Amino acid sequence: MELYLDLISPPCRAVFLFAKALGIPFEFKYVDLNAGQQYSSEFGKLNIVVKIPVMKDGGFTLSERYSRASSKCLSFFVPQVQYTRSRRTSKRELQ
């Protein structure tokens, strides 16, 4: 999986940290926002809206502006984790 990011962007940082924290293997592709690299014709082929972050996995490309949606889509690639009752604490148990 390739992630096209510039860590100056808060949504990009969120996606980057999410992937790192969960150990998702990815190739970091730097897109220099200050130099306007997102407006290049090469990047335009990935995302016609010229926004980052962009995730590319094989033939699937996800271009999304908001990190929340990107994080949800990244979670598609993470195995589901089953939490036991002992790992969760309800509000009632805290009182």
Q: Catalytic site residues?
A: 9
Rounded-to-integer distance, Cα 5 and Cα 68, Å: 15
- Residue 69 to residues 18, 62, 72, 76: CA-CA distances in angstroms? 12, 10, 5, 11
DSSP state at residue 68? H
